[in-house]
Amino acid sequence: MIDIHSHPLPGVDDGAKNLEVAVQMCQMAAADGITHLVATPHCNYQYSFDPAVNHAKLAELQSAVGEKPKLLLGCDFHLSYDNIRMLVDNQANFTVNGTSYVLVEFGEFFVPDQIDRVFYDIECAGLTPILTHPERNPTFRRKPDLLYRWISRGCLCQVTAKSYTGGFGSTAKRFAEEWLEKNWIHVFASDAHDVKYRPPILSHCRKKVAQARGEETAARLLERNPEAIINGQPLPPAPSTRTPPLAMPRPALEALATAGAFGCFGLSRREALWAAGAAATIRPGQLPGTTGGMTAPPLKAMTPAEVTFADLWATGTYGTHPIEHIRELLAERGVCPAADLRDAMTGTLITVGGLVTHRQQPGTARGVMFLSLEDETGTANVICPPGVWERHRRLAIEAGALIVHGRVERLDGAVSLLATRLRRIRALPAVPSRDFR
């Protein structure tokens, strides 16, 4: 068996307290039939994560235990904005054995609202998140459909072996059993921390899985899938996941219709939006064709600008950039595209406009505020001196889109606009920005 989640490195987190305990954990794992053990120290606000120290301790531990089990390195990666940036920039320090797989753990009591965007960023970096021990997380217990949603989009699910055998209580055991029945689990791991309370034991779990689902499933979840993960290979074929029952509320149907999700059925956005309210009333067993209000009268198609605004409202993103719809109007007022900054001479007075995507004020900046404006041509970096910021403070914080008058500055190859005046662009909808993070 292969264990992809454990904490045997001495003194780096809440796992093994010293080298003696670490050696005992490895010996126990080997005696249990574990051939490969991935050491996954925590990377969170409580414990310092130092890749160099981890590699050194791994080598020391491997030397002390001998050839078995084979020790590999990974990370029990806590989701936070700072951590995500480190992960994207230095993947090999955090992934399982330097592959594209990364263990991801959530906080105990909540899942951040922006987690879909976080997973999107991780996946865009070419990584596959493995959600660790969701059966022990109160949020997933309250909303198991969250787990299904994320494994449906490509995330993997790792359940603690001791949860499945009852060691973490009846609730964790019940969810582990239910999710195994639904084929939501991709791998079992020990999440071992010591030799007494949370030992590196997988054999009990493997035996129970074999009895419940057969030898093939036990081998897949404790041998073949973990082997693929440590080698950076795709997981072998598996039974499809069982979909939970869905009750689609009216607001969700209307959002999908507004976003154009029903275009595959030959419906325009407005036709689908017309029918969404009636479709939400359909119940299981209802006779087909008996729901009134499904067919819309002739409706005028959305304009390109309306399509963009609809996308923003329904999904938070867009196809055509909102600024592109008002480019001619901005050009008449002397507002240049962000791309023009790249070729502008230092000291040139220039005006740009765009959506505000970031607001930052580092503690060392002495009152200087940094903004990022985005239009259809790219991004403009804006520097707001303290005087400009104080004059336009409320506008700069509240406005989703701004026109900025300023002077071009160049420093170390970076081009910025030193702002002298800010104005609001009122014709655009609000777009979420990353502020003061």
Task: Identify the pLDDT of residue 281.
Answer: 82
At 233 the three-state DSSP class reads: coil
Asked if 220 and 179 sit in the same domain, the reply is yes
Task: Identify the pLDDT of residue 61.
Answer: 97
Task: Identify the pLDDT of residue 246.
Answer: 57
| Cα→Cα distances 269→198, 278, 304, 392, Å | 54, 15, 12, 39
Asked if 44 and 159 sit in the same domain, the reply is yes
Whether the pLDDT of residue 244 is over 80: the answer is no
What are the φ and ψ backbone dihedral angles of 382, each rounded to 5 degrees?
A: -120, 130
Asked if 333 and 283 sit in the same domain, the reply is no
How many Cα atoms within 13 Å fall on the side-chain side of residue 59?
6
Whether the pLDDT of residue 353 is over 80: the answer is yes
Domain annotation covers residue 237: no
Closest CA to 235 of 221, 246, 249: 221
Asked if 337 and 399 sit in the same domain, the reply is yes
The amino acid at residue 124 is: C
CATH number of the domain encompassing residue 113: 3.20.20.140
Count of domains observed in the chain? 3
Asked if 15 and 160 sit in the same domain, the reply is yes
Task: Identify the pLDDT of residue 241.
Answer: 75
Task: Identify the pLDDT of residue 120.
Answer: 80
The amino acid at residue 2 is: I
Asked if 51 and 118 sit in the same domain, the reply is yes
CATH number of the domain encompassing residue 398: 2.40.50.140
For the record, the structure tokens of 34 come out as: 């574990």
Q: Which domain holds residue 399?
A: 324-435
Asked if 329 and 271 sit in the same domain, the reply is no
Whether the pLDDT of residue 436 is over 90: the answer is no
Question: Which of 52-61, 239-248, 320-329 shows the lowest mean pLDDT across its residues?
Answer: 239-248
Asked if 287 and 412 sit in the same domain, the reply is no
Asked if 71 and 172 sit in the same domain, the reply is yes
Asked if 82 and 215 sit in the same domain, the reply is yes
Task: Identify the pLDDT of residue 247.
Answer: 61
pLDDT tens for 32-77 read: 999 999 999 999 878 888 999 999 999 999 999 999 999 999 999 8
Domain annotation covers residue 7: yes
Among 197, 230, 263, which residue terminates a domain? 230
Domain annotation covers residue 78: yes
